DNA sequence: TAAAGTAAGTGTCGTTCAGACACTTGCAGG
DNA sequence: CCTGCAAGTGTCTGAACGACACTTACTTTA
């Protein structure tokens, strides 16, 4: 048996949020080589005693201060030459952050951390543009057969907010009546009995996820 | 920046075929420690200048002689302690082999290679039982929104063979008329104009995939 | 206190898709 | 020519999907 070549294992997180009707992804400005100063997904090297998911969550918090509301494994990327430092394999995660104001704290390996609209991304380090594209494909697909969109909302929300999130992810408007009919028919949200008074118009009924913890898959 | 800990990166393949109405997965008997003599997925260490997919295909051929007709990345598994030799991360692949008789050639790191019905698997090395379960979930899901089932069939096949494949994967019978109506409506297969005479009954029309190369995704 | 502005909320109809269901056709072997 | 066997074919019913417009409840301003 030949001696196996070790590789460096990293994780990267593509964390999305919806802010003001736009889908955004969280990026850091790299402090160190390679790609110093370049924008990249938050991520870093796997440590000895953590799982892959723990690594992804840890690096994300260290570099951005953002604690994700949802995290799932996306895919792995390990083409030779993807990292000028040597052979690396990254396990990419798809993360979601609910839309509540939160400050960003760039730290560690990051010089800066910012949310970028996915419709106007800067050029990115490594193969991170590809990873974001794959994450978007996954997110859009999963929207139609799971309750994943709820992870982009606070605990209680009006149905119009859920519709906004879906529209921002899909990139096109949805019919309000059909949307409500469908969502309520699925039973993934339940009425809180409370209303939200906000602005100079009719108050909206607040809903919550029918099941806390995790997401539901339909079909 | 702390010095990153290297890990060993491996790939493993869960390759399925349908044989005599049963869904089977390809396993090897491990020749070496750890888990020597135990059944496991074919796989091995990543080499310096190959992609992850190349590694998966290479190890599969080396250990079993099987050349897959389809290979896609499934997921990565890297819990600390999953391998007694030290920290390893494995990138698992889902493979399919079309149902044409082919000899198995155990070699390399494998003492033996055999197809096992997924309904009666032996106990497995590492976390490979989990990987197979995840691969099955993916395969069953993908059956309903892609043309993946065609990769389990030879180039030309009667519709009844396609139905058999789907039934074997799903584990329950399908209605013949509804099945044909749906498949033909999708346009993923086309008539070859030829018939297959086989046994003492009416010859079946042969079909082929409408697109060679890759699989089609619907919806 | 009335009018204007704004987002919330609500129902029907036509089309399409999914699922249940049984008989006829074409060939081989006896 | 009769039997056995898999191939092949159509209809109907209920459910889901998509198009489509007005009323309600509240705030602000005149």
Whether residues A12 and A51 fall in one domain? yes
User: Distance between CA B112 and CA B11 in Å, rounded?
Assistant: 19
Question: At which of A112, A143, A174 does a domain end?
Answer: A143
Looking at the fold, whether A153 and A139 belong to one and the same domain comes out as no
- Domain extent, residue B203, equals 148-209
Q: How far apart are CA A169 and CA A172, in angstroms?
A: 8
Indicate the residue among B120, B143, B166 that finishes a domain: B143
Asked if the structure places residue B218 within a domain, the reply is: no
Same domain? For B66 and B127 the reply is: yes
Averaged pLDDT of chain A: 94
DSSP letter assigned to residue A121: -
Q: Which nucleotide is nearest to A207 (CA to C1')?
A: C8
Same structural domain for residues B107 and B76?
A: yes
Q: d(Cα A181, Cα B45) in Å, to the nearest integer? A: 51
Chain B residues near residue A77 by CB distance under 8 angstroms: 52
**pLDDT digit string (tens) for B36-78?**
999 999 999 999 999 999 999 999 999 999 999 999 999 999 9
Q: Which of A72, A100, A216 is nearest to A161 (CA)?
A: A100
Question: Would A219 be classed as within a structural domain?
Answer: no
At A165, the pLDDT band (50, 70, 90 cuts) reads very high
- The rounded distance, in Å, linking the Cα atoms of A110 and A12 is 13
B201 located within any domain: yes
In this predicted structure, what is the pLDDT of residue B1? 47
Same domain, A52 and A127: yes
| Chain B: closest CA distance from residue A2 (Å) | 9
pLDDT at B102: 60
Cβ distance of A73 and B75 shorter than 8 Å:
yes
Domain-embedded: residue B106: yes
Residues B114, B27 share a domain: yes
Whether residue B82 is found in the same domain as residue B179: no
B111 and B67 within one domain: yes
Residue B82 CB contacts under 8 Å (≥ 6 apart), including other chains:
B88, B90, B126, B127
pLDDT over threshold 90, residue B159: yes
Q: Residues B185-201: pLDDT tens digits?
A: 999 999 999 999 988 99
* Cβ separation B45–A5 shorter than 8 A: yes
pLDDT digits (tens, 9 = 90+) for A47-66: 999 999 999 999 999 999 99
The separation, in Å, between residue B114 CA and nucleotide C7 C1' comes to 64
Say if residue A171's pLDDT is above 50.
yes
3 state DSSP class of A29: strand
CATH number at residue A122: 3.90.79.10
Question: Would you say residue B214 lies in a domain?
Answer: no
User: Considering the domain boundaries, does residue A217 fall inside one?
Assistant: no
Count structural domains, chain B.
2
Rounded CA-CA distance A82/A65 in Å is 27
Q: Which two tokens stand for residue B155?
A: 């180039």
Among B98, B115, B143, the domain-final residue is B143
Q: What is the CATH number of the domain that holds B157?
A: 1.10.10.10
Judge whether B219 lies within some domain: no
pLDDT band for position A3 (cuts 50, 70, 90): low
Residue numbers in B near A219 (CB within 8 A): 144
Mean per-residue pLDDT over chain B, rounded: 94
Q: What's the 3-state SS for chain B?
A: CCCCCCEEEEEEEEEEEEECCEEEEEEEEECCCCCCCCEECCEEECCCCCCHHHHHHHHHHHHHCCCCCEEEEEEEECCCCCCCCCCEEEEEEEEECCCCCCCCCCCCCEEEEEEEECCCCCCECCCHHHHHHHHHHHHHHHHCCECHHHHHCCCEEEHHHHHHHHHHHHCCCCCHHHHHHHHHHHCCEEEEEEEECCCCCCCEEEEEECCCCCCCECC
Asked if strand D comes closer than 7 Å to A194 Cβ, the answer is no
**B14 and B112 both lie in a single domain:** yes
- Are residues A139 and A152 located together in one domain of the fold? no
Q: How large a percentage of chain A has pLDDT more than 90?
A: 86
Residue B217 lies in a domain: no
Judged against a pLDDT cut of 90, whether residue A100 lies above it is answered with no
- In chain A, the N- to C-terminal Cα span, in Å, equals 46
Q: Which residue of B has its CA nearest to A54?
A: B79
Task: Clarify whether residues A129 and A158 are in a common domain.
Answer: no
**pLDDT higher for A137 or A111?**
A137
For B82-106, write each residue's pLDDT tens digit: 999 999 999 999 999 998 756 666 6
Q: Based on the domain organization, do A135 and A172 belong to the same domain?
A: no
Question: Which is more confidently placed, A104 or B196?
Answer: B196
What pLDDT is recorded for position B101?
A: 59
């Amino acid at each position: 048996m030949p001696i196996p070549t070790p590789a460096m294992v990293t994780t990267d997180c593509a964390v999305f949020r919806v802010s003001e009707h736009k889908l955004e992804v969280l990026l850091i400005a790299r402090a160190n080589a390679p790609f110093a100063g370049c924008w990249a997904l938050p991520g870093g090297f796997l440590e000895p005693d953590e799982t892959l998911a723990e690594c992804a969550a840890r690096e994300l918090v260290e570099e951005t201060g953002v604690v994700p509301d949802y995290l799932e494994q996306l895919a792995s990327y390990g083409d030779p030459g993807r990292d000028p430092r040597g052979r690396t394999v990254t396990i990419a995660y798809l993360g979601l952050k609910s839309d509540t104001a939160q400050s960003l704290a760039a730290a560690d390996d990051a010089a800066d951390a910012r949310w970028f609209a996915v419709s106007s991304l800067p050029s990115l380090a490594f193969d991170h543009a590809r990873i974001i594209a794959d994450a978007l494909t996954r997110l859009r697909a999963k929207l139609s057969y799971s309750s994943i969109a709820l992870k982009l909302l606070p605990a209680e929300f009006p149905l119009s907010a859920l519709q906004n999130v879906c529209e921002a992810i899909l990139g096109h408007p949805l019919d309000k009546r059909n949307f409500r009919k469908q969502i309520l028919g699925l039973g993934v949200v339940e009425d809180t009995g409370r209303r939200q008074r906000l602005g100079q118009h009719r108050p909206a009924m607040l809903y919550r996820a029918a099941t806390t913890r995790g997401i539901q898959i339909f079909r």
